[in-house]
């Protein structure tokens, strides 16, 4: 028994020592990962990504991360940045696939040269066999954003906290944006299961036009009792129109119910004030951290995820809005947070 015990202890010590030696060896092997982003420093959302990269470096001191982007965004400029990042021969690249046609050439060259690539925030939207052969996609899912928000609203309606939906309008500021259309499609599928109909409405991005368009729609369709704005900043416009039309747009068991998206200050403060039922987060922080971690695991262990990694949607409602507000204030800063709150 004692012999067995001491053998076990010796084996444990040896394993620990070997593990320690291996760890020491690993910690000496430096890696450099580059994130070539479409989000410049003029967008507060960049802070989600740069903060997560900083925290990643603290956890993995042998890894250096670099964040490359431009404040003068264009696909032309983004591809140049990507090519220059590839030229530095990094150990891994994280990049949003803004245009698969433009990004495929340089990314295939990088992958052929042995540089692992993780897509973040925007995937290659083509069918699986045609996609750029990146390691994985880390980011949100636009269809699920609409669907999960719809299902959340239906659950609340079932509980009697808000009215049951009869007619939903999905208000979009960009009629050609596939991501926004997918959000509407997700909401439509959720609502149609409950017997409610959904119409997509192009309201534009200009406040006066958007308000007029929405007002005309609500007058022509008086059975509409849910508004889903597919951008957070248009939710105050929707609430304002419904309020002026005396449609009781605050969150209660009567009148109009408003849903929106994003973890921006407008959306969160809308929820906190009781103007908006719920919004969502696509897990921006994770979209910085998780690609780096997967690149690290791929380099160190050869691990490769066999499916996309969805970082959202996460529903933000009145129960967790305060916690989200604290997080967003920490990332954006109080000044930027307050400036963006247009309620």
Which chain residues interact with other proteins by CB under 8 A?
40-41, 46, 66-76, 79-81, 83-89, 99-102, 104-105, 108, 130, 174-177
Angle made by CA atoms 335, 341, 343, in degrees to the nearest 5: 145
Q: Toward other proteins, which CB reaches closer, 67 or 297?
A: 67
| Minimum separation from the CB atom of position 142 to other proteins (A) | 16
Q: Toward other proteins, which CB reaches closer, 25 or 76?
A: 76
Q: What share of the chain is helix, strand, coil (3-state, %, to 5)?
A: 50, 15, 35
Q: Toward other proteins, which CB reaches closer, 53 or 278?
A: 53
| Minimum separation from the CB atom of position 79 to other proteins (A) | 6
Is-contact 66 288, C-beta < 8 A?
Answer: no
Query: Which of 107, 186, 104, 108 minimizes the C-alpha distance to 140?
Result: 186
| Minimum separation from the CB atom of position 86 to other proteins (A) | 7
| Minimum separation from the CB atom of position 113 to other proteins (A) | 9
Burial profile 100-111: b = 16 or more Cβ within 10 angstroms, e = fewer: beebbebbeebb
The tokens of 164 are what? 């049951």
Q: Toward other proteins, which CB reaches closer, 78 or 148?
A: 78
Q: Toward other proteins, which CB reaches closer, 258 or 331?
A: 331
Q: Toward other proteins, which CB reaches closer, 107 or 191?
A: 107
Q: Toward other proteins, which CB reaches closer, 100 or 221?
A: 100
64 phi-psi bin (left φ>0, alpha ψ -120 to 50, beta other): beta
Per-residue CA distances from 272 to 126, 266, 305, 321 (Å): 38, 10, 37, 6
Torsion angle (degrees, nearest 10) of CA 304, 40, 105, 138: 20
Q: How many C-beta atoms lie closer than 10 Å to residue 284's C-beta?
A: 26
| Minimum separation from the CB atom of position 100 to other proteins (A) | 8
| Minimum separation from the CB atom of position 150 to other proteins (A) | 25
What is the DSSP code string of 23-67? HHHHHHS-EEEEEE-S--TTSTTHHHHHHHHHHHHHH-TTEEEEE
Q: Toward other proteins, which CB reaches closer, 72 or 307?
A: 72
Distance from C-alpha of 315 to C-alpha of 313, rounded to nearest angstrom = 6
| Minimum separation from the CB atom of position 78 to other proteins (A) | 10
Distance from C-alpha of 308 to C-alpha of 134, rounded to nearest angstrom = 10
Q: Toward other proteins, which CB reaches closer, 122 or 278?
A: 122
User: Biggest alpha carbon distance in the chain?
Assistant: 87
Strand-pairing partners, residue 7, are: none
| Minimum separation from the CB atom of position 171 to other proteins (A) | 17
What is the crossing angle of helices 321-332 and 46-59, to 10°? 90
Strand-pairing partners, residue 202, are: 172
| Minimum separation from the CB atom of position 50 to other proteins (A) | 9
């Amino acid at each position: 028994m004692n012999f067995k015990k001491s053998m076990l202890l010796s084996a444990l010590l040896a394993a620990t020592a070997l593990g320690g030696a291996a760890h020491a060896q690993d910690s000496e092997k430096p890696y450099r990962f580059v994130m070539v982003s479409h989000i410049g420093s003029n967008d507060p959302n960049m802070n989600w990504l740069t903060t997560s990269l900083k925290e990643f470096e603290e956890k993995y001191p042998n890894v250096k991360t670099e964040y490359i982007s431009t404040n003068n965004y264009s696909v032309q400029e983004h591809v140049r940045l990507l090519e220059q990042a590839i030229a530095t021969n990094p150990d891994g690249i994280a990049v949003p696939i803004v245009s698969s046609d433009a990004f495929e050439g340089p990314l295939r060259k990088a992958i052929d040269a042995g540089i692992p690539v993780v897509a973040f925030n925007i995937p290659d939207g083509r069918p699986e066999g045609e996609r750029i052969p990146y390691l994985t996609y880390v980011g949100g899912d636009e269809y699920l954003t609409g669907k999960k928000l719809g299902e959340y609203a239906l659950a609340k309606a079932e509980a009697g906290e808000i009215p049951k939906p009869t007619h939903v309008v999905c208000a979009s500021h960009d009629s050609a944006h596939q991501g926004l259309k997918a959000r509407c499609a997700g909401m439509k599928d959720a609502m149609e299961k409950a017997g409610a109909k959904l119409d997509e409405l192009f309201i534009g991005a200009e406040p006066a036009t958007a308000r007029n368009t929405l007002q005309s729609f609500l007058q022509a369709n008086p059975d509409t009792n849910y508004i889903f704005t597919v951008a957070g900043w248009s939710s105050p416009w929707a609430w304002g129109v419904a309020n002026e039309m005396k449609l009781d747009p605050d969150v209660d068991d009567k009148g109009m119910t408003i849903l929106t998206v994003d973890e921006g200050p407008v959306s969160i403060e809308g929820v906190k004030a009781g103007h908006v039922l719920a919004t969502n987060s696509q897990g921006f922080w994770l979209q910085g951290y998780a690609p780096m971690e997967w690149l690290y695991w791929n380099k160190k262990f050869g691990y490769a995820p066999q499916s996309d990694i969805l970082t959202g949607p996460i529903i933000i409602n009145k129960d967790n809005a305060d916690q989200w507000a604290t997080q967003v204030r920490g990332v954006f800063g109080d000044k930027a947070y307050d400036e963006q709150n247009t309620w």
